A and B are shown apart, each in its own frame.
Chain A
Amino acid sequence: MTVPPIAPGGKASLTAVPGGQGRGLAWLALPALLLFVAFGVIPLIGVFALSFTTWDGLGEIRLSGFDSWRAVLTDPGLPHALWVTFLVIALSWAVQTPASILLGTFLAGSQRYRAVIAVVYFIPLLLSSAAIAITYKALLDPNFGLGAGLGIPILVQDWLGEPALAMGVVIFVVSWQFIPFHSLIYQGGVRQIPRSMYEAAEIDGAGRVRMFFNITLPQLKYTIITSSTLMVVGSLVFFDLIFVLTAGGPGDATRVLALEMYKRGFQANLMGPASAIAVILVLVGLGLALLLRRLGGRDATHSQLEGA
């Protein structure tokens, strides 16, 4: 997961600060801004420049105009990679969001046993993606994996060899890894909902399901937007897990944009086209982040909470 790209300078957040203090506190943004420029903006400019060159990573960098862009944009691999990326984003969002909201709501309760479950449940979050991928690969091995070991025929499938199954496995593993993280966000969100709202609903005779749909869910609106932004932008640059689990295979069934970029740049030694894909990746990411911000309405930074 990476931090969603935020417009440099953080203008939007500054305007939210009441007028008089704006100037005095602007310097607080400086450290983050410097880091962002040094490790975000400058490399980005470099990549943009590289996309107009031909370079194999070894010899000299030669200017070649739009050659790389032409190569990338006419390659049928690009729409395919975009489609696969979109599928990963959409499916992993559709699986993770409902599961995370339900789990987050459940874990928000103050009972002791829920706290214990919460701790156990956050374990996947502590594991590195590469370790998770290698472990799943071993578990899914059709001859020596879980299915064969326990003698459960339904688990003996060509998990990573059938395009649809491989995509399913990727979504499952991604969800398994990140649902705990998003549950944590939702847990925090649910805990901030004032108790009084539920008490009022109880007096009015609302049941648990009704309370969930009429109080919890609407109150979580901005939490959902935050979590979705992280999810969408996170899946957009998802690389390590897919690289180790399927390496983009079978064929190119799970080759997302980030993987396509890596393969071109570091396996095929075509830094120009790889940089062009990187630029596309950044643009798509920025576009999606902006879109999600719009979806949240103009007051996205405001709280709905009482007294806030």
Chain B
Amino acid sequence: MRLTAQEADTLASAQVFSVKARPVVRPVEEMYLPSQVAAPAQVAEVLRHFTGVQVKDYGGVGGLKTVNVRSLGSEHVGIFLDGIQVDNAQNMQVDLGRFSTAGIGTVALFNGQKSRRLQTAKEYASGAAVHLNSARPVYGDGSHGQAKLRGGSFGTVNPSLQWDKDLWKGVTLRTAAEFLTSNGRYKFPCFDTTLVRENGDIRSLRLEAQLFGQSQRDDWQFRAYAYGSERGFPGPVIRRALGFPFSAERQADQDIFIQGGWNRDWSERYATALRLKYADSYTHYDTHPEKNPMALPYDLHYRQRSGYVSVAQSYVLANPWSVDLSTDLQRNALDSDVGQFVTPRRTAFTGALATRVAWERFRAAAHLVYMGAWDCFDSPDAGGWTRENGYRDAWMPSLSLFWSPLEGLEWDAYAKRSYRLPSFNDLYYSQMGNSSLVPESALQFGTDLRYTYWPRPWYWEARVSPYYNRVSDKIVAIPTSSQFRWTMLNIGVVDVLGMDVKAKAACQAGPWDIGATLRYSYQRALDHSTPGSQTYGNQIPYIPLHSGSLTLSAHGNGWSFAWDSSFTGGKWSRTANTPDYYIEPWSLSDVTVGRSFPLKAVRESSMSKLVVSLALNNIFNTHYEIVQGYPMPGFNALLSVEYKW
């Protein structure tokens, strides 16, 4: 029943000063996964249900899935794993399809400014943020584990294993492994006929080890992560001569990273957090022209490396007033064998100064973030664009307020300016690069009014959140005089006026928890780039004006049922809002049934149990496309069996 849960970082520190415990900004959406009997297996599935979020999905288990919050663009949405950003300097798009929910405790969405003590400077610096936090094992709980097997449609077989073991005083080791294979085959309507999606198969393996440590003053964790995958890209659905496949493209990825965080309370007033990360990602992309006569013969390799260090300090000046200073340093490098490649290197500094006051009823936080990035590249005689080394910087101020005038009535508001750096592709891609780009800027205003009322056994909640975003200096690819050559320019302006509405009712009836949640989003996202152009004032691509969902759930006696229906309104795939580029609205309904069987008690504090759940997705077999040319699967079913001890 409990859908809100405190994040690990607020639990960690002491309770003497109330400013440390009272959040000024709370996530607009948060899901505590361990409490769900049948939690979604993919992070993208969790986010799909959050208000104001569009998950752009190219279809299938291996298809790229990116997230766009309130029409800011996916480059403005930071994805954070235990407070450390998962980033991609090449194109700034993080494929959420690669994140399973195994081992994740909470998934939280922040629209404006996340503002917690001891957060990294980069956590202050994204326009919107999705935070994935590990479900921390508790020392002293002994040895725990989960073994799960999931499978079903598309030939999906997805076993995973996780095992927690207390090592020594206060230190717990978690090891986890997950394998996924899927043939990616599903039927889709192709113009006048029905075909089966081909070359959408995937195999992936994830191996992880984590150490968690806690003592009176210290709280630390360390993670070593390795992910490898090999997948096909089925390609867009187009008119193709009979006998020629849509695609034979394959991609292999090998990602490894190590990251760690250490929080220490030096005194009741002063605390620090140190975070470190090193990541190495290798990608091999091959169009296989020998298998597809329509393929252009590309066989390319990319390697991205990044090193990151962050120091955060927090000091309580006078309760309930505190001040935080966070400083991050990061270095990114990209290497490739693509023609005229300039092997860019970026050294970026992010600094954030934050101050918070938090009385019981009124709380406020002000933040000032500075971001600066020094770029260089070492192939002076390749390519045809200006190629001075560049320093780009930006100041990002923001203000967050919280006021609770009555018990159960809460109001908050934020104003924020954020920037995102141009990606390496924006700057240096051999066919379309422009090194004179400035950071893309987002101006955000939002407010949120929430009323909760809980006369037992009932629980009622209503929330209305209007907002305005303006994305300017938006980096847009535009053609030049030569037909094969594009350039990137800071010319885009998008004005977004939107409103998220959420209503929830829940009731405890005997052993049953019954709940209903209604969500609705209105987004008017208009192109205001070039006055007088044919697209000025039109809705930007892929943003529906209306969307919403209804979720009904019931839990009790070891059973769990959920029904979810979502609606996505009509939208366009081009800024020219013409009938040729209109994407029809669709609605989807998913059903989940879960059953938990208690087994013999391994120890007093925990019960071992078997959880069986069945997810029936798209039960009405709706054919739809989120991205034009990329059909999504129809009805599919996935069964999972999990043993927890």
A and B assemble together: no
**Residues of B bordering A, CB below 8 Å:** none
